[in-house]
Amino acid sequence: MTSSTHDDRPGTAPAADRSAERRRALTGGVTGYFVDQFDIYVPVIALAPAMAYFVPPDLDTSTRTIVAAFIFTATLLGRPIGAVIFGVLADRTGRRKATIIAIAGIAVTTMIIALLPGYSSVGLWAVALLIALRLLDGVFLGGEYTAAIPLAMEWTPKRRRGLASGFITMTSPLALCLISLLTLVLLQIFPSGPADSPYATWGWRIPFVIGSLLALVVLVYFVKYVPESEEHQKQAPQERVSPLRELFLGAHRSSLLQVFVLMTGIWTVLNVTVTILPELASTAAGMTSTQLTIALVIASLISAATYPPAGLLSQRFGRRPFYIGTGVLVAVVGAGTLAVLGTSAGLGFWTSTGLLSVAFTVGILAFGPVAAYMTERFPASMRATGYGIGYSLALVLPAFFAYYLLGLEAIVGPELAPAALVTIGGLLTAAGAWLGPETRDVDMHS
């Protein structure tokens, strides 16, 4: 360590200036990821009570559930497309430019969704437009984290990357918590029900407007304050490789395969945790919808608090041991907790909430250092593309987790099927980490 006030690399800014630029880049990464996660959860929570506004009034319950699920799936399918488009853009023209375009797209698309007409006005075009816009929104969402997170990580000193990653990714459960509370308050003020009820008519629009305005605030921040990555600036245009060619046909295809296994396990566990776990806890304790929302808020806050420590643990012991250990923890503790909830009845509110919090925290603990690990796995010339595609492509197989549950139900029964799938996800996480190298000490500036 030197006492010099300048960076030890030639041609760089004074240390004080660089420190301010690092803080701005990290702040941009944190706020950008929060907007991304807020927008991801909005249709799952805030739009669900208003589905009557978009579909025919005589539609049966099962078909309505399928339509609602496809709205969420459309967003997931858009994210890998966005990762490809904006990953290449970020590696070829700059992380900052790609992030600004992606966030602008999120702001505009989310606001258009808030203004959509219903089935009574345009018929089936209402739900068709909603699905199409969520697909487009997914493209921009995939582009946001694909560009913004490598930008933040490249500005972060090596010794702090784990902690910085934890602060970025902890915004996911915080966003879930905020939307849950917001929706709960809105439903108390504006009752939900048929297509002409206050919530179905316009109450659901409020979270979408808020999401759009949040994106606009982050957009202004990036334009005014966040600098471009030095690693991108140092590369001469003629030195920049074709990121997709390098990733799929070059020496880094094995890296892509390894992170694909890791992230497939992580996403599988997340999907079960977010969608099935609350239902198990609610059934075990006989919770009302309000009680379940309160339980989810508690579990989300507890989970969010564990992200920075998880990043620090990976910094202290290494990313590879962290993910191997986390995978085993998920397969044993996470799956075991789901098994208890799935086979229990008559649990009290606080017992069920405690079990929910344990399973929720363990189930998504792997996301703590994921921003650091995934960016460390790829060189600067293709870092955004590698991170974005590796992170997003693995969404596809876990998106069909409901079908895997049906197959597992035939083997272990419906009560234990979620626990069995979480066990598989945990083992995939551990195997993916075991197949890869240690990345904690990777020099992103080389």
Domain residue ranges in the chain: 15-229, 243-440+442-446
- Note the pLDDT of residue 19: 84
- Burial of residue 434, with CB atoms counted within 10 A of its CB: 0-12 exposed, 13-18 middle, 19 or more buried: middle
Q: How confident is the model at residue 269 (pLDDT cuts 50, 70, 90)?
A: very high
Q: How confident is the model at residue 444 (pLDDT cuts 50, 70, 90)?
A: confident
Rounded to 5 degrees, φ, ψ at 14 are: -55, 155
Mean pLDDT (whole number) for 30-56: 87
CATH of domain 15-229: 1.20.1250.20
Mean pLDDT (whole number) for 175-190: 89
Res 7 pLDDT > 60: no
The pTM assigned to this predicted structure is 0.86
- Note the pLDDT of residue 446: 58
Percent of the chain with pLDDT over 70: 92
Q: How far apart are CA 211 and CA 37, in angstroms?
A: 10
Select 243-440+442-446's CATH number: 3.40.109.10, 3.40.50.300, 1.20.1250.20, 1.10.580.10: 1.20.1250.20
